[in-house]
A and B are shown apart, each in its own frame.
Chain A
């Protein structure tokens, strides 16, 4: 029996025994303390997905970020554009090297949470807390802007993301008492709008990010914990997923993008992971990341984009960095 016990007493159990022997046997609070500790510590020992690269570090210098929240891929230049909580916009190359940076004109009331590169090569930033869309040239010159606070046509509460269809129309998602998608032409002229707040079909709650492929628009319905599928004409098609931590389930999906092979890349703020979703079946094809600080772990990720090679660049907001995953 002794021998069997010795065999069993490996790993965590041995650790508990050793800890218990160090502490006084009547010191009962030590037992729950050790158990709690081990229960919480052991999940941290699981295998991690390893990134192929980690870009940027903490700070306000070049190639540094503070809580980055949005990323866009500039296909023509093979570059990335990142926006952080210092209201800074940085362009970086494929190696994560700094190219250029500028700051939003106003930022004390809040910072942008989205960024997109338009078909014209310009950078479109929903200036979330200043209720406007800012359009910058790639070198950071402000070209135009539109929008003002309000709930009428062309007005915004909290614009979150911008996407473009093949006809050059600009789709802007917004939340905050008046969740909807507004459609503009490239000059910022209001065309139409669709969607409303709610948790039913054809409704959404905090549309944090949108992606358009052909005639389909995918919407990260963050607070309903699902992905909404719409046509670009504003017709609701279906929802994908439900709240939870399992494959195909979501908790606060903040980011959505489409990979070159047509899969949905969903970034979950609440589950600290990125999921690859088959848009037809709604099934999870792959998951990457879990909570933590080490490479391969994520903290409050906001967004992810796939480049032309299929590499996925993940905005690891809480860790002040970008991680590059390959699958």
Chain B
């Protein structure tokens, strides 16, 4: 009986993993190999070199700024300061969970209120975009730095403090994780187009979307669109969706290769950091605690990056806030976003439960690759795979969006399940096996009752990120049910606009509520993990 169940579970797992991870990656690979016409897009003429250089420069700036502003929070959380540290832990991830559109519009409103708004596409506007992305992504370097500091043996910090080199020692400890986090921020920033596009700033992410939707680059300097000038000008060449999709994949290829190289370096570095970090964390003397001013700066930065844009949006509202009216206005779209997110969460949960029965490293690698290629590439791959008469049931329903979200964020659920194959879980599994439990019994009666909070937290995280995902959602639009994000993206402009503000705040509210649920479940997960550690 269990053999049959195990087989069914395994088949189901591979079916979902195959459709979500293997199929889009395979489509991208086949497209790259087979599409000779699209190779033209790889010509490194001056336009393309400039595009790539610009993209790297802007996103590298984002990474550096995010890493620098993360240092105070990393020190404050990493070295601790009693009761002042715990709220930081809760507040830090908020900005990362909110949609990038909220930051884009929030910062525009902040600058509009101060009367310092730069003209579109100017140097000041580029700085605004860089800051917007950095203010969104900085919790990543902050969290990585904090983890590195918390893992350091307390006696080392105490000795450094006695020697008067605590500051230098802290910065040395932070250097490696911050470098890794810097690379991660670069990768995530380069996948985002919602910040640059409304200003008309051309980067690879904006051009990938434009090439997929139109077959041509959006830029003024683009030799293709230049021909479309005067009335009765030379007609443009018509390209099918397959050709446009291939061209979009090739447009993104140089940056994707760079992303994968960075990811490999990050992975190697992260493994080394994890090995170095396995030290006993003892009680810490008060002399190594973060100085009060550092904690104050950390709070200030959280206030500036997360709270200020939201406050600016609220201050920009012209109409009085009427919850009933806002709900009536946005209920179909917010319910659409919630439905899709819940289904993505359910599928991710199923994947993670199925992953408990067997450690499948290759799937985690594939899922991570799906995340690295970005939401746009995944969406394009899935559209091309399912935009056929025979697969209309996937393409014309909610399924295509759910597949895209699981492809993009499924690695989180798989990684959550993979933790049950590390110590002390391995010892627990071994003990259960020695007691005569079958594989199925170990899974259902031993691992799952303890691991469910971890899996649920990871699943919820997949759901929240699905709700705020811009790249895949916009490319897959129109969807049924309709999510809120594509509607909001069309409204991002400089002037205050109540509908945009109300929709964004509603989405942020829902996300924060979901995040609160994640925190609660994660707390449960931590408790069960601690209990398990004590038992083993």
B-binding residues in A (CB < 8 A): 23-24, 26-27, 29-30, 32-33, 36-37, 40-41, 44, 58-62, 64, 66-67, 86, 88, 100-103, 108-110, 129, 139-141, 157-158, 175-177, 197-199, 205-206, 222-223, 225, 243-245, 251-252, 270-272, 291-294, 299-300, 318-319
Contact = CB atoms under 8 A, between A and B. Distances in A.
Contacts of B231: 100-102, 139-141
Interface in B199-245: 199-200, 213-216, 218, 220, 225, 228-233, 235-239, 241, 244
B487 to A, nearest CB: 7
Contacts of A44: 396-397, 480
B325 interface: yes
Contacts of B238: 59, 61-62, 64
Interface of B: 5, 8-9, 12, 120-121, 199-200, 213-216, 218, 220, 225, 228-233, 235-239, 241, 244, 318-319, 325, 328-329, 332-333, 339, 342-343, 346-347, 349-350, 353, 395-399, 444, 477-478, 480-482, 486-487, 490, 493, 495-499
A90 to B, nearest CB: 10
Contact of B332 (A88, A245, A319): A245
A56 to B, nearest CB: 12
Nearest to A199: B319
Nearest to B395: A293
Given A36-B342, A205-B319, A66 B480 contact: no
A29 B349 contact: yes
Contact of B346 (A36, A58, A139, A292): A36
B343 A36 contact: yes
Contacts of B230: 102, 140
A294 B396 contact: yes
A129 B493 CA distance: 10
A176 B236 contact: no
Contacts of B478: 291-293, 299-300, 318-319
Contacts of A62: 235-236, 238
Given A102-B231, A197-B318, 15 more contacts: A29-B353, A37-B343, A59-B215, A60-B214, A102-B233, A108-B121, A109-B200, A205-B498, A205-B499, A223-B497, A244-B328, A291-B480, A291-B481, A292-B480, A318-B477
A206 B339 contact: no
The 9 A-B residue pairs whose C-beta atoms are closest, nearest first, are A140-B231, A299-B478, A176-B495, A61-B238, A108-B200, A102-B231, A318-B478, A61-B236, A33-B346
Contact of A30 (B225, B328, B350): B350
A30 B13 CA distance: 13
B9 A24 contact: yes
A158 B497 CA distance: 12
B318 A243 contact: no
Contacts of A58: 213-214, 241
B347 A33 contact: yes
Contact of A60 (B228, B395, B444, B486): B228
Nearest to A108: B200
A41 B225 CA distance: 40
Nearest to A316: B478
Contacts of B199: 109
B350 A33 contact: yes
Contact of B398 (A40, A102, A108, A198): A40
B213 A243 contact: no
A292 B228 CA distance: 31
Contacts of A33: 343, 346-347, 350
B396 A293 contact: yes
A3 to B, nearest CB: 30
Contacts of A300: 477-478, 486-487, 490
Nearest to A86: B214
A251 B329 contact: yes
B294 to A, nearest CB: 40
Contacts of B244: 59
A92 B362 CA distance: 53
Given A62-B236, A206-B497, A292-B478, A36 B339 contact: yes
B213 A66 contact: yes
A101 B235 CA distance: 9
